[in-house]
C-alpha cells in the first residue's frame, strides 16, 4: 500500500512513467518496421515491464532502507528477508499493472496466442520477474544512496531489456554479433515468447536450452541474494 498504491494515487507522474516506459519502445519498433514487428514488440513490452518492475525494487528498497530506516525495523522484528522481499515484490507488480493492462488489450486485438502459448508466456514472465527481483534486492542491500540505486536500475534495465533483441527477433542481428546477445537472459526469454506466439521457429534443443538458462540464472541469483546480500549487517 505504501510503496505503490499511495504513490500512484498521490503522484500521477509515477503512473504515467510506468505506462510509457515499455510502450515507448513498442511504438518505435512498430513505426520502424511499418507494423511488421507489432506482435514481437508487444511481447517485448511485457518482458520489459516485468523485468523493469523487479529491478525497480532496488530503488524502492534503498529509499525505504536509507531514508526511512525501515529495513532496520524489519531486521529487528521476526520478519524474514524472504517475507519482506515478497511483500515489496507485490508492490512492484502493482506498479507494472497499468502497462500490463494496456499490453493485454493490445495482445488481445493484435495477437492470437494459443492456450499453451499463453501458459508458456506467463511462465517466461514469471521467471523474468523472479530473476529481476533477486537482482534488485541484492543490489539494494549494498546501496547507500537513492541516487546510486536509480543509476543502477536504469543501467540494468537498459542492458537487459532494451539493447538485447527483446522487441524484435534475434535473427535481425548479424551473426558475428548475435552471440553477444546471448549474454543477456532476456534474449532467451524473448526467444521462448516469440516461439510460443509463432513468430520465431525454435527446435526442441533450443527450447530446452532457453528454459534451462532462465531457470539456472534465476536459481543462481536467488542463491546470491540469500548468501551475499547485506541484510542484518546494515
3-state secondary structure of 202: coil
> What pLDDT shows up at residue 38?
92
C-alpha cell at 131: 530473476
Note whether 190 and 39 are within 8 A (CB). Answer: no
Q: Around Cβ 122, how many Cβ atoms within 10 Å?
A: 12
Give the C-alpha separation, 42 to 199, whole Å. Answer: 12
pLDDT, mean of residues 155-184: 87
Is residue 201 very low, low, confident or very high in pLDDT (cuts 50, 70, 90)?
very high
> What pLDDT shows up at residue 229?
67
pLDDT, mean of residues 44-57: 87
Average pLDDT over all residues of the chain = 83
Return the higher-pLDDT residue of 175 and 82: 175
Is residue 234 very low, low, confident or very high in pLDDT (cuts 50, 70, 90)?
very low
pLDDT, mean of residues 58-66: 72
Q: Is the pLDDT of residue 190 over 90?
A: yes
Q: Is the pLDDT of residue 130 over 80?
A: yes
> What pLDDT shows up at residue 86?
81
Domain ranges across the chain: 5-228
Is residue 54 very low, low, confident or very high in pLDDT (cuts 50, 70, 90)?
confident
Alpha-helical regions (H) of the chain:
5-10, 12-32, 38-66, 70-75, 81-110, 115-142, 146-161, 175-181, 185-196, 204-228
pLDDT, mean of residues 20-25: 76
Of the listed ranges 30-44, 147-161, 194-208, the least confidently predicted one is 147-161
pLDDT, mean of residues 54-70: 72
3-state secondary structure of 33: coil
How many helical (H) and strand (E) elements, i.e. helices and strands, does the chain have?
Answer: 10, 0
Q: Is the pLDDT of residue 3 over 60?
A: no
Return the higher-pLDDT residue of 75 and 187: 187
pLDDT, mean of residues 131-149: 77
> What pLDDT shows up at residue 148?
67
Return the higher-pLDDT residue of 175 and 68: 175
Query: Is 192 exposed, middle or buried (CB count within 10 Å of its CB: 0-12, 13-18, 19+)?
Result: buried
Of the listed ranges 71-75, 109-113, 179-183, the least confidently predicted one is 71-75
Amino acid at each position: 500500500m505504501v510503496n505503490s498504491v499511495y504513490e500512484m494515487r498521490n503522484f500521477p507522474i509515477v503512473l504515467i512513467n510506468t505506462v510509457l516506459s515499455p510502450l515507448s519502445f513498442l511504438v518505435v519498433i512498430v513505426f520502424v518496421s511499418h507494423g511488421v514487428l507489432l506482435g514481437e514488440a508487444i511481447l517485448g513490452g511485457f518482458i520489459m515491464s516485468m523485468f523493469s518492475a523487479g529491478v525497480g525494487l532496488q530503488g524502492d528498497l534503498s529509499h525505504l532502507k536509507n531514508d526511512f530506516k525501515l529495513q532496520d525495523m524489519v531486521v529487528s522484528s521476526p520478519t524474514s528477508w524472504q517475507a519482506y522481499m515478497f511483500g515489496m515484490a507485490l508492490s512492484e507488480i502493482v506498479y507494472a499493472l497499468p502497462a500490463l493492462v494496456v499490453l493485454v488489450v493490445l495482445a488481445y486485438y493484435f495477437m492470437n496466442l494459443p492456450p499453451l502459448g499463453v501458459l508458456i508466456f506467463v511462465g517466461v514472465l514469471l521467471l523474468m520477474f523472479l530473476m529481476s527481483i533477486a537482482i534488485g534486492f541484492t543490489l539494494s542491500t549494498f546501496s547507500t544512496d537513492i541516487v546510486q540505486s536509480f543509476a543502477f536500475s536504469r543501467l540494468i534495465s537498459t542492458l537487459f531489456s532494451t539493447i538485447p533483441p527483446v522487441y524484435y527477433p534475434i535473427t535481425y542481428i548479424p551473426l558475428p554479433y548475435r552471440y553477444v546477445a546471448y549474454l543477456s537472459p532476456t534474449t532467451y526469454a524473448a526467444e521462448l515468447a516469440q516461439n510460443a506466439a509463432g513468430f520465431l521457429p525454435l527446435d526442441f534443443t533450443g527450447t530446452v536450452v532457453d528454459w534451462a538458462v532462465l531457470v539456472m540464472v534465476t536459481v543462481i541469483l536467488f542463491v546470491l541474494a540469500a548468501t551475499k546480500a547485506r541484510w542484518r549487517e546494515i
